[in-house]
Amino acid sequence: MPMEPKDWIDVTTEKNHYSLDHFVIPKHYEQDVSSILIPHGVIMDRIQKLARLIVDDATGPLVVCCILKGGHQYFADLVNYIKALTKSNGMSVPLSLEFIRVKSYKNDQSEGVTISLSESECKDFAGKNLLIVEDIIDTGNTMVKLLERLKQYNPKSVKVTSLLVKKTSRSNGYVPDYVGFAIPDAFVVGYALDYNEYFRDLDHICVISDHGKQAYAI
């Protein structure tokens, strides 16, 4: 069954923001985030459900493609859950793993998309079922550009899972196949999502504060 936006967990309202006092935040980031949007435990439970949906839909082996660097934590946890699951017929899903480096942000602004993917890696995608694992869709421009590139190499199918989708008027309308959470139009960090390489070591997904933006600006 295709996933629809009504199936996403919507954390876009004010009441979804937890106070920093409610959970443990590393001392070095205490002033740098304004609220906790998605606690780590909720992230993990949601990923288990996304893994279930992906396994149920899989029709054969998957090439799971991690979009570095921000997607690495979601990719690692998702792959672990998929490995632990079986389909209703008792079969498990064979996986192979690929890594694609995509860079677009400086501070909290996109500076255009750079995709690092070699021709020889891409040739291996022909005839395979690809599952792209991304941390967040904001405008959708990164994913549209990546999908255009991947489709040139004739994969059998391409599906995309993004842990987060930002609800923003800047969206180009792109919608991934599997989504964890719809989030507000704010710059979020943690769970491997960075701001100039900081905050990847924060477990919860948090909204960055003005103090954090200034402290780590380049």
Ligand X SMILES: Nc1nc2c(ncn2[C@@H]2O[C@H](COP(=O)(O)O)[C@@H](O)[C@H]2O)c(=O)[nH]1
Partner in contact with 188, chosen from Mg ion, ligand X, none, beta carbon below 5 to 8 Å by kind: ligand X
Q: Mark 109-148 with x for binding to Mg ion (rule: CB under 5 A) and - for no binding.
A: --------------------------x-------------
Of 25, 55, 70, 146, the residue at the interface with Mg ion (CB under 5 A) is: 70
**Which residues have a Cβ under 8 Å from the Cβ of 189 and sit 6 or more positions away?**
33, 195, 198, 199, 202, 205, 206, 207, 208, 212
Q: Is 187 in the site for ligand X (CB under 6 A)?
A: yes
What does the per-residue mask of binding to ligand X show for 53-82, with x meaning CB under 6 A?
-----------------x------------
* Enzyme catalytic residues: 138
Using the rule CB under 6 A, give the single segment among 58-66, 72-80, 133-141, 152-160 that binds ligand X. Answer: 133-141
Instruction: Decide which of Mg ion, ligand X, none touches 189; Cβ closer than 5 to 8 Å per partner kind.
Output: ligand X
Residue 176 touching Mg ion (CB under 5 A): no
Q: How far is the CB of 16 from ligand X (least distance, A)?
A: 15
Residue closer to Mg ion by CB (options 58, 66) is 66
Instruction: Rule CB under 6 A: say whether 141 interacts with ligand X.
Output: yes
